[in-house]
Amino acid sequence: MFDLLGISPQVLMGQLLLGLINGSFYAVLSLGLAVIFGLLNIINFAHGALYMMGAFVAWMLLSYLGVGYWWALILSPLIVGVFGIVLERTMLSRLYKLDHLYGLLLTFGLALIIQGLFRNYYGISGLPYQIPEALSGGQNLGFMFLPNYRAWVVAASAVVCFGTWFMIEKTRLGAYLRAATENPVLVGAFGINVPLMIMLTYGFGVALAGFAGVLAAPIYSVNPNMGADLIIVVFAVVVIGGMGSIMGAILTGYVLGLVEGLTRVFYPEGSAVVIFVIMAIVLLIKPEGLFGKAA
Amino acid sequence: MIRTLALGTALGALTAGAAMAQDMDVKLGVLNDRSGVYADLSGEGSVVAARMAIEDFGAADKGMNVEIISADHQNKPDVGSNIARQWYDEEGVNAILDVPTSSVALAVADITAQKNGVMINSGAGSTELTQGQCRPTTIHWTYDTAALANGTGGAMTKAGGEKWFFLTADYAFGHSLEENTTTVVQENGGEVVGQVDVPFPAMDFSSFLLQAQGSGADVIGLANAGGDTVNAIKQASEFGITQAGQKLAALLFFVTDVHALGAETAQGLSLTEAFYWDFDDTTREWSARFEEIHGAKPTMVQAGVYSGTMAYLQAVEAVGSAEDGEAIAAQMKTMEIDDPLFGAVTVRGDGRAIHDMHLFEVKSPDQSTGEWDLYTHISTIGGEEAFLPMLDECDFTK
């Protein structure tokens, strides 16, 4: 166990921790996708672009209005969420009765347009965004130096993921939502405004992407392509977890972050494909995903 | 473009009556990345630079009718090849400018040789363009991976950074940059203690950075480009690697990248460039004009498009026609060029433009007086020292 393949336990611990941090991003993003798919039946390909928007809105708030990180953490998801609601009302709502493919194509097109607009105005090199003062620096854990900001990312994402799961699975509101996806007509007949609920759900799922974007801004390059690079991996995470499964998306996000972290130690060249290899295996053995219900 | 064109035509018509004027049509194509990772460092800015060169050269006054077209090669060799073929065959393009991304540049170099055009490359880094795959019609103007390695690698090893660890983008460009730099490090008495191949493109570098940290290296060489380099530097600062004394060497980094990172994060970084806007009065004046049109300071690639276009037009004027690409390239190789942006430039028999390269260090936020005030000049590396020696079989002047 110790000095496994020439890797000391310290290095291993460090890499596992880093994997957990990346897993936090995967978890928040795939959670948003799972919520939207589970409750709206829309494969939201614009998720990556909205994550990018979250980071850009944080930057804009800081540079144009002088609004700092902490407010951005609340305001940016709100702004992105409202933007999502506009998209849902004006375009997506017309597609619910059609095949998944139409929603996928529409959101994919939207993603390209959003990215193109940002690229046109802000260029491709990216924009600077600093780590907030209160979270700069880090702790020496003995086996690695853990930046405070990364610790915060793990904590914030865990709270958000758990909160979302709790709201959808354990509260009355969540029960309405789940019922509305099963049988919207019946739930509507009980006097519940189903279209409003669906609209807010999309806004919420999209706001999660915006939230992840703000979390990412201080540590990753803030550029128009940042979401496009990430979204494919996140989709793989959702597929592995099982489309539409809330808990599946969260757990798979964290676990795959860990797996990717380990691959970086043992075979770095493979770290970009390991998730897709797992996806292929899962699809072969359990096509509905690890946590999905058989169709 | 239309205005330049109209102006050119009008002036051409005016001077047509004069005895000395012979109307000469020249068509230039700027082929680069207009939407992807290299769009900021080349892109529309290169078109702006080429247009400025035509204006400053006074093409219209000399009875030369110079037209510019541009296209996006999307960093794909097949797309770039198709455009180049179409330009030479159907559009009557005489020369292709810029062409970043080495794989595209090598493909376009071949087509240019077949069609007897000229490629004045500013954006691509591969030394192959003037070494293994040299062509009589290729002029490689601004930089190459060997010059970057010599500049940054040599200087940092001499300054005491003897042990190197590379984070290498896992594709042809990254490996070639690592190889060039390894040679330079070893020649200067340093050693390479480890390396890791990072899948491209990568977002999270923390695992790789920790491996580099654990290796005990003095210098972490970043053999990557664009967003990858930005991510690696941002995270190295976050993990306290630079603060703990390990130095980062960004082996290919442009002023637009430093601008994107901000001086706070990028400070202290060493890098090599052929051009910096704040070098002297001439470069400042030129860059101010450029910024007025384009909205950002020029990169060395864009400045290289300007200088290369200028030299090309001089050669066309001397030859008297833009039709025979090989003749123009040969003419360029005989000229003593005193360039406003690059200083003294000569073009070697293999097409490699020889000029000074400069080593810079990124300023700290206290030292920086403005958004674009980013570099301190450390030293100048002479052209002969910076670039690889010419291969005998590539000397097309023989």
Does B24 score more than 60 pLDDT? Answer: yes
Please give the Cα distance from B79 to A55 (Å, whole number): 32
Identify which of A249, A280, A184, A215 has the alpha carbon closest to the alpha carbon of residue A36: A249
Q: A261 vs chain B: nearest CA distance in angstroms?
A: 7
A138, A150, A272 ranked by CB distance to B199: nearest: A272
Question: Residues B122, B141: contact at Cβ < 8 Å?
Answer: yes
- ipTM reported for the complex, 2 dp: 0.81
Question: Residues A47, A234: contact at Cβ < 8 Å?
Answer: yes
Give pLDDT, residue B22: 60
Give pLDDT, residue B17: 39
User: Residues B112-132: pLDDT tens digits?
Assistant: 999 999 999 999 998 999 999
Q: B369 vs chain A: nearest CA distance in angstroms?
A: 17
Give pLDDT, residue B374: 95
A2, two tokens: 């110790």
Binary contact (A147, B262; C-beta < 8 A): no
Highest mean pLDDT pick, A279-293, B113-127, B219-233, B245-259: B113-127
Residues 6+ apart with CB under 8 A from B62: B317
Q: A180 vs chain B: nearest CA distance in angstroms?
A: 38
Residues 6+ apart with CB under 8 A from B350: B130, B131, B134, B390, B391, B394, B395, B396
A to B CB pairs, distance under 8 Å: 107
Does A77 touch chain B if contact means CB atoms closer than 8 Å? no
Please give the Cα distance from A208 to A31 (Å, whole number): 8
Does B193 score more than 50 pLDDT? Answer: yes
Angle between helices B77-86 and B102-115 (to 10 degrees): 30
- Letter string b/e over residues A191-202, b meaning 16 or more CB atoms within 10 A of that residue's CB: eeebeebbbbbb
Binary contact (B257, A14; C-beta < 8 A): no
Confidence of residue A6 (pLDDT cuts 50, 70, 90): low
Give pLDDT, residue B3: 52
Give pLDDT, residue B1: 46
Stretch (H or E) spanning B377 = strand B375-381
Chain A residue at shortest CA distance from B207: A15
Which chain A residues touch B202 with a CB distance below 8 Å? Answer: 272
User: Residues A236-278: pLDDT tens digits?
Assistant: 999 999 887 889 999 999 999 999 988 988 888 888 899 999 9
Taking residues B357-367, what's their average pLDDT?
93
Binary contact (A264, B207; C-beta < 8 A): yes
Centre a 10 Å sphere on the Cβ of residue B288 and count the other Cβ atoms it contains.
11
User: Residues B264-273: pLDDT tens digits?
Assistant: 888 888 899 9
DSSP string, A204-249: HHHHHHHHHHHHHTTTS-B-TTHHHHHHHHHHHHHHHH-TT-HHHH
Does A228 touch chain B if contact means CB atoms closer than 8 Å? no
Does A3 touch chain B if contact means CB atoms closer than 8 Å? no
Stretch (H or E) spanning B29 = strand B24-32
Question: Residues B137, B394: contact at Cβ < 8 Å?
Answer: no
Taking residues A33-52, what's their average pLDDT?
91
Please report the domains of chain B, with CATH numbers, ordered by start residue. Answer: 2-143+279-351 (3.40.50.2300), 147-273+357-382 (3.40.50.2300)
Taking residues A75-101, what's their average pLDDT?
92
Does A2 score more than 70 pLDDT? Answer: no
Does A133 touch chain B if contact means CB atoms closer than 8 Å? no
Q: What is the mean pLDDT of chain B?
A: 91
Query: Is A72 exposed, middle or buried (CB count within 10 Å of its CB: 0-12, 13-18, 19+)?
Result: buried
Give pLDDT, residue B6: 52
Between A16 and B191, the more confident residue is B191
Binary contact (B203, A131; C-beta < 8 A): no
Binary contact (A18, B206; C-beta < 8 A): yes
